[in-house]
Amino acid sequence: MTRSIYFWLPIFATGMTGLQAQESTVESEILAPLLVTGSEVKANVISLDTPTEAASRLGLTHRENPVSVSVADRALMEQIGARDLQDAVNILPGVNLASLPGSGAFVSYRGFTSSQVNQLFNGIPLAYVISARPVNAWIYERVEAVGGPSSFLYGASSVGGSLNYVTKTAERVEQDITGRLSYGRFDTTESAFGINRELNETNWVRFDYSHNTSKGYIDDNEKSANTMAFSWLSDISNRLSHTLAFEYQEETVDSPYWGTPTLNPQVGTLSIDKSIRHNNYNVEDGLYEQRVRWLRSVTDYQWSDKTALRNTFYHYRAERDYRNLESYRYDANNTQLTRSGLYLQRHEQELTGNRFELTHHGELFDRRSDWALGFDYNVNHHTGFPTPNGATDVVDPYQFEAGYIADFSTDALREGRSNRVKMISMFVENRQGLTDRLSLISALRYDHIDFSLLPSPGDEKKTSQWNTLSGRLGLVFDINADTSIYAQYSTSAEPPGGTLTTSSNQAIDDFDISDGRQYEIGTKFSYWDGRGQATVAAYHIVREDFLTRDPNNSSQFIQVGQQTSNGLELASSLQLTPNLTASANVAFVDARYDEYFEGGVSYKDKTPRSVPKRVANLWLVYEPTPVWELGVGTRYVDSVYANSANTQKLPSYTLFDAFAAYSVNAHLDVTVRGRNLSDKVYAYTGSRTQYYVAEPRSVELSLDLKY
């Protein structure tokens, strides 16, 4: 094809970014070199020697890093048709992310879920699951995943891993204009535009905008979203540069879908009545809205050829509104439906902080020695504005009046619990060459956490403090130019209650930090004269001393919980012929509770909820002529348990997608894409009473422009 082509190697915990074909005048001493320049590159060309920021501040390549990293860059997201961050994340090996309706991103990674997997934006943690709600992918440059404990990079939490969403920012190119128009089933539309332009020899700006609408595959579930990102890059001198970045997101969902009730008896594999798969049992005027604003000021100074400084000031503000009836349960005969779970609330979150980093590439004992050190200070403030709930009604699941929120409550919003979390962090990282082939990579981070909670206006303020220490120690050995092996030990530290921004004092008072540790070994190698790339990783993770219900008093917590996760991840990409590339990954996970209680019952040796034991992806891309590109992909997710007793589970599923892309000329591509081609009815997440039905078969047509 006349356009540049990219391909994905979703390497399991050692992710790999495809080479990006574009002209660039990037000054390497200022910008992080995640992109490799060149002429047109076929989709199968992938380099293990591409630097990554995901798991190190030292600019290490994938091969040099003793940790599992995977990256879905912009080119890959476009090729597989990632509409939002959920699509982008789920092509990464071992990751299973579900966007709960009207809520955040629920992710399972290496046997751990929810707040046990850190989700960051441009390396900044928000410490709140709902704030990671997947939004349109147009403004994002890449998604990075780090497997296992990574508190040494991003701070407290992240025992299962970290996901980092990186926004597009201005680059040093004369001009780059892109656009997209698409239309698909359920009147799903996207209108998007992006421009990167040189103002003069020292200033560049970038602006990206997308508008998305859909009537939804669930009744009365219309959606509308606007996403915008602006950045301004200035070279103040040949050593000093500054980037100002601003992002804005707004989303409105009418009558959000909160799930389809599961049929009784709720034992074994849960099921639904497929004839009502499109029914929406929320109230007629149900609502979810969010407004998100990001501001970042990044200053880079190249002190010398070997030493660089970076200062990042960041500010985040978000408001989210809910007006819904969220819970639905059948009676014993599956003939009547009880609706409950009135939720009328507003969330306000504000995060302000500053991070300073210094990197130095030098020598010690006549061997290469690279250093990164710095500090971070931030204040994270969250306030909820709830109303009482408890109202219910009973309806016929086949013929019913949705009603309105006023039928259940006329109470107004009022300020509730307010949480404030202050964090001071210091970190250091080193890569020390021991021999020509062997390197030692180490890191250490200290976090001081100051937590205060005001239960409601007029109540007594309560405070708690914790100090955490986490780190990693790894070895990388280059067997030859094509193969490296590594071993790593890393730790994590998790505040009691998981997410301090929304925790109640009852869940955290008088408890200590929960610890996690991981042992990982792996290899990264090229084969078949460089036509293939592959990675293998095996790990053992232990999370201990987390909160669990007291078996003698279910209203109280005790800090005795322990969970173990063992896993194996494999991935490879192979240029089968000059025109055909195959790429695949598979992850195996065995997660178990060693000690855990609910309702006075021990769930020792049970598998945690929502953790699939196997996740796999396979893609084939064929280029029969220079202007045609054809692709087919499949994704398998194993069944997951819906309760801690492991007596209920959601079934496994396999999905099939395909696309055909035609390059009309150097500026226009036309793509037809089909999703869930077998029209599989499946739950992408759920509980014992509700089954969140995923999108049925759909087809979309898109026009992509580039100048």
Please tell me the distance from the alpha carbon of residue 695 to that of residue 218, in angstroms, as a whole number: 9
Across 15-24, 299-308, 424-433, 485-494, least confident range: 15-24
Interval 175-179 mean pLDDT: 96
What's the mean per-residue pLDDT of the chain? 89
Q: Out of 220-224, 330-334, 367-371, 451-455, which region has the weakest mean confidence (pLDDT)?
A: 451-455
Structure confidence at residue 13 as a pLDDT band (50, 70, 90):
very low
Q: What is the pLDDT of residue 616?
A: 97
Return the pLDDT at 459: 66
Residue 262's pLDDT band (boundaries 50, 70, 90)?
A: very high
The residue that leads in pLDDT, 461 or 437, is 437
Do 605 and 591 meet the contact criterion of CB atoms below 8 Å apart?
Answer: no
Residue 267 structure tokens: 């034992």
Q: Is the pLDDT of residue 673 over 60?
A: yes
Read off the pLDDT of each residue in 124-135 and give the average, rounded to a whole number: 86
Q: How many Cβ atoms are within 10 Å of 374's Cβ, its own excluded?
A: 19
Work out the average pLDDT over 542-550: 88
What mean pLDDT is predicted for residues 77-88? 92
**What number is the average pLDDT over the span 103-131?**
88
Query: Residue 308 and residue 225: Cα distance in Å, rounded?
Result: 39
Task: Map residue 331 onto helix, strand or coil.
Answer: coil
Q: Given a cut of 60, is residue 2 above it in pLDDT?
A: no
Per-residue pLDDT reduced to its tens digit, 457-516 = 666 778 889 999 999 999 999 999 999 999 999 999 988 877 788 777 666 767 888 899
- Tell me the β-bridge partners of 448: 424, 467
Q: Would the pLDDT of 369 be above 70? A: yes
Write down the pLDDT at residue 31: 36
Residue at 433: amino acid letter: G
Q: Label residue 155 by pLDDT band (50, 70, 90).
A: confident
Q: Residues for the chain: how many in total?
A: 707
* C-alpha angle 57-61-65 in degrees, rounded to nearest 5: 75
Q: What percent of the chain clears pLDDT 90, i.e. is strictly above it?
A: 71
Q: Assign 6 a pLDDT band (cuts: 50, 70, 90).
A: very low
Distance CA 250, CA 135 (A): 9
User: Residue 8: what pLDDT?
Assistant: 35
pLDDT in tens, 272-314: 999 999 999 999 999 999 999 999 999 999 999 999 999 999 9
User: Which of the 8 DSSP states describes residue 84?
Assistant: B
On the question of pLDDT at 34 being above 50, the answer is no
CA 390, CA 409: separation in Å to the nearest integer? 9
Mean pLDDT across the stretch 213-226? 95
Q: Which of 245, 253, 296, 292 is nearest to 131 (CA)?
A: 292
**Whether pLDDT at 320 is above 80:** yes
Choose between 33 and 283: higher pLDDT. Answer: 283
Four-CA torsion 31, 37, 43, 46, nearest 10 degrees: -60
pLDDT confidence of residue 19: 31
d(CA 131, CA 347): 10
User: So what's the pLDDT on residue 458?
Assistant: 63
Q: What tokens does 81 get?
A: 């048709």
Quick check: 29 pLDDT over 50? Answer: no
pLDDT at position 548, please?
86
Question: Which residue segments constitute the domains of the chain, with CATH numbers given?
Answer: 69-706 (2.40.170.20)
- pLDDT, residue 151, reads 83
Question: What pLDDT is recorded for position 505?
Answer: 63
Residues 345, 387: contact at Cβ < 8 Å? yes
According to the model, what pLDDT value does residue 264 have?
Answer: 94
Contact present, 464 and 456 (Cβ < 8 Å): no
Is 90 exceeded by the pLDDT of residue 412? no
As separate numbers, helices (DSSP H) first and strands (DSSP E) second, the chain gives 4, 39
Residue 85 has φ and ψ, to the nearest 5°, of -70, -25
Across the beta sheet with 95-99, the strand order is 95-99, 105-109, 112-113
Cβ-proximal residues to 201 (8 Å cutoff; 6+ apart), any chain: 235
Write down the residue that tokens 């997410």 correspond to: 499
Taking 50 as the threshold, does the pLDDT of residue 39 lie above it?
no
The pLDDT value recorded for residue 30 is 36
Instruction: Flag whether pLDDT at 253 surpasses 50.
Output: yes
Q: What's the pTM value of the predicted model, to 2 decimals?
A: 0.91
The pLDDT-based confidence of 160 (bands split at 50, 70, 90) is: very high
Asked which of 310-314, 418-422, 511-515, 546-550 is least confident by mean pLDDT, the reply is 546-550
The mean per-residue pLDDT over the stretch 540-564 comes to: 87
226-242 pLDDT, tens digit per residue, is 999 999 999 999 999 99
